[in-house]
Amino acid sequence: MESKIVPTIWPKGKELPPPRESIAEERLYRKQRLAAACRIFGKLGFDMGGAGHITVRDPGDPTHFWVNPYTVPFGHITVSSLIMVNHEGRRVEGEGQLNRAAFAIHARLHEARPDVLAAAHSHSIHGKTWSTLGRTLDPLTQDACAFYQDHRVFSAFSGVVYDTDEGDRIAEALGDGKAVILQNHGLLTVGGSIESAVWRYIGMENAAQVQLAAEAVGTPIPIPHDVAIKTRGQIGSEIAGIYGFKPYWDMVIRDEPDLFD
């Protein structure tokens, strides 16, 4: 069953695609995309030791989520190596070790935001660098507009997040946005699909890289407010995230079919 690739149901118009016909098929779909997302993060250099975690809700019980196991390299993640945990931090399925920070952050995010299906966090270099400034990103490019006035800064860094109380504070800082910059820590993105959460992380890391480079050589000219808002509506949606994820998915399933093991 694990080796069968569950196909994507592509959106029609502006509506999100419907779920698969059975809970089992939907679960496998999400696990396959989650495993692929980890491989993508590995390819893009978003890994650093045991840091970094991506989660997606289980379709059978929304109080449970799937996550990559602690200390397993992103590039080694397979569908069968993923673990499922509940919002109390108990491993329900799988043999891997749970990253306590993943539980403290993601469990509280998923509980605070019923609309969030997936969340992604890692210690990528440009996002981590930008986080030290304690500022939101500016709408400097078309791609950066996806996050315009739709992301926040969590400024209360207090060390590695092992406490669910801090997870609650991060969820509060995120509010109804699609991303939060964890000051002195890194980036965290969420979405109504595993695809959009991951694509948003990639896009936010890229936006941070561009703004760091632009400010290093001069004074960037931001996109006007009304144009930035319009552009956000065009490229910042869930559907845009699903399509943005597609090229990376296609690359991984062609080059790394062992992820379905």
Q: What does the domain layout of the chain look like in residue ranges? A: 23-256
3-class DSSP assignment, residue 83: strand
Give the amino acid at 201: Y
Per-residue pLDDT of the chain (261 residues; tens, 9 = 90+): 445 899 988 887 777 888 898 999 999 999 999 999 999 999 999 998 888 999 999 999 999 999 999 999 999 999 999 999 998 888 999 998 988 877 888 888 888 999 999 999 999 999 999 999 999 999 999 999 999 999 999 998 776 666 778 888 999 999 999 999 999 999 999 999 999 999 999 999 999 999 999 999 999 999 999 999 999 999 999 999 999 999 999 999 999 999 998
| Closest to 89 measured CA to CA, from 75, 74, 110, 73 | 110
Superfamily of the domain at 23-256: Class II aldolase/adducin N-terminal domain (3.40.225.10)
- Dig out the tokens for 203 from the structure: 């896009």
The C-alpha torsion from 83 through 88 and 89 to 90, rounded to 10°, is -60
φ, ψ (nearest 5 deg) of residue 99: -75, 115
Q: Report pLDDT for 100.
A: 83
Q: Is 55 in contact with 108 (CB distance < 8 Å)?
A: no
> Rounded to the nearest 5 degrees, what angle is found at the Cα of 212, between the Cα atoms of 130 and 123?
35
Model-level pTM?
0.95
Helix (H) or strand (E) holding 259: none
